[in-house]
Amino acid sequence: MDKIRDRICWDDHGRYKVKRNYSIDSANSIFVQNAELHTHGFNTPDLGMGPYRNAIILNEILGYPYFDIESDVPFQDFDPPMD
């Protein structure tokens, strides 16, 4: 880590400054997984999200959308139907 520390973007608390695409540097060439609880929320350690994160990262590395990323995900509503 010492050799790339100066390339990494850090927040005011000394944590990785993780972008939406999981990169932590300005060149979008260093990525993290399971290290973004402070920026991406409680599902960060959920291994079921791994394929999604991998697709985001690989699309970024490739420079084009090789993997389809679903953007219109269904919302589940538990309210009873109103008549």
- Residue with the bigger pLDDT between 35 and 40: it is 35
Buried-state track 21-55, b at ≥16 Cβ within 10 A, e below 16: ebbbbeeeeebbbebbeebbeeebeeeeeeeebeb
To the question of pTM greater than 0.85 for the whole model, the response is no
Each residue's pLDDT tens digit, 36-79? 666 666 666 666 677 888 999 999 999 999 999 877 766 666 66
